[in-house]
Amino acid sequence: MNIKIITLCCFIIGWSACYAQQELSPEEAVNYTLDNNYGVKVANKNLEVSENNTSIYNSGYLPTVTGSAGATYNLDNNESEFSSGDVTNLNGAESSNYNASLDLSYTLFDGLGRKYNYQSLKEEYQLTELQARETIENTIIELFTIYYNVAQLSENAETFQQTLAISKERLVRSEYQFEYGQNTKLEVLNAEVDINNDSINLINTKQQLKNTKRDLNFVMGNVLNEDFKVNTEINFLLDINKEDLFEKAKSRNVALMQADKSIQISELDIKIGKSSYLPTLGLTGSYGWNKNDNNAASFLAGSTNTGLSAGLNLSWNIFDGGSTLTTVKNAQIALESQEIQKEEILLSLARDFNNAWDDYQNKLTIFRVQENNIITAQNNFDRSQEKFKIGQVNSIEFRQAQLNLLNAELSRNQAKYQAKLSELQLLQLSGELLNIAY
């Protein structure tokens, strides 16, 4: 009864997993991730902010224009004494003033600080681009780690399904042989136990596959509402050359490019600091309107003035207590630190690249060995199956040959996808991850 229930569960799981599934290609998975992954979205938003910072409106090259207006009302008690000795008292004297102006201010020269600061903003934008690229590369590696895990579990599920089918055939044969007195009840019980184990392996693998598909869909931004399958075919870039790839790594590795960009920014910081040693020349201009309504004690009843004014102002901070000198020295130290960090990154890159290359070659070799092992295990199982049918091999020996084939297939599946992931990690180090066809 337990065997029938487990078999029915496996059938239902297998039927539901295969029914109406769309195939998700690696190219589609990458496109979904680039469009919908939340980490990539945040990186793109940071890039937009950095792009806004490089706008002409944030450069300091444009003038500032300010408009102002005001009105004043006065109610005074006034006592005026003239030179003749006459005294005039005026209570509740009203007066008012109205004014408006348009003021312009523009820096003609600031010691080139504005120029270097604008260049620095552009370099920071390019640094943000590299940071966004690093986020995308890491996300792509995460995507394919899960994608190939789904592929491996899919192939494992098929392998367990085939193993279960063979075990069922063995149970039927054992039951017939028992009915005709050709073996004992123990053979039947052993076959039932093996079916139970194979069924449990299949059920667990199916559940792992479902969970991993959810992980994959999450990385892609939860864009797939229906069940799907993935492409299990793998193509390796077997024609890549180690020396050529390492040369690309030294010019295109994203961590190394970020270090170069940080050095350029530090060099500009030094120039920005030194610009404070030079004078600043500014232009000011104003167009104003002013109207006065005087009280009766004034000689004039009122007046209205309009006019245009312009001027130049020069300022030179001859000595600021040493703050500019300190700023320049600290910027120089920061530059030296960036150069040291770049040297460390170069050494680290060489080490990581060589490790990744050797790891890739080893895993390719292991994959080829596992493929050959499959042939051997399959031949061994086929011969054991033939001898089992004619009674020359007992059930224990047959089961061992079956398990050897199963383990060989599972190991081959694991080796295949580990080799592909190792290849992608090698391409990431060389800066070529985003330049290949998936």
- At the topology level of CATH, where does 2-62+112-279+318-435 sit? Outer membrane efflux proteins (OEP) (1.20.1600)
Identity of the amino acid at 432: E
pLDDT value at position 21? Answer: 75
Percent of the chain with pLDDT over 70: 92
**Inter-CA distances, 165 with 127, 142, 172, 196, Å:** 57, 35, 11, 12
Digit-coded pLDDT (tens) for 263-300: 999 999 999 999 999 999 999 999 999 988 776 666 66
Structural domain boundaries in the chain: 2-62+112-279+318-435
Chain center to CA of 416: 26
- Residues of the chain with pLDDT below 70 are 1-20, 80-83, 85, 87, 90, 295-301
Average pLDDT, the chain: 91
Please report the pLDDT score of residue 414 as a whole number: 97
Q: Specify the pLDDT at position 298.
A: 63
The pLDDT value recorded for residue 303 is 80
Q: Could you tell me what percentage of the chain is helix, strand and coil, using 3-state DSSP and rounding each to the nearest 5?
A: 65, 15, 15
Q: At what angle do helices 26-36 and 38-53 cross, to 10 degrees?
A: 50
Look at residue 16 in the predicted model and tell me its pLDDT: 46
pLDDT value of position 74: 81
Q: What sign results for the dihedral spanned by CA atoms 423, 429, 435, 438?
A: positive
pLDDT for position 82: 66
- Per-residue pLDDT of 353-402, as tens digits, reads 999 999 999 999 999 999 999 999 999 999 999 999 888 989 999 999 99
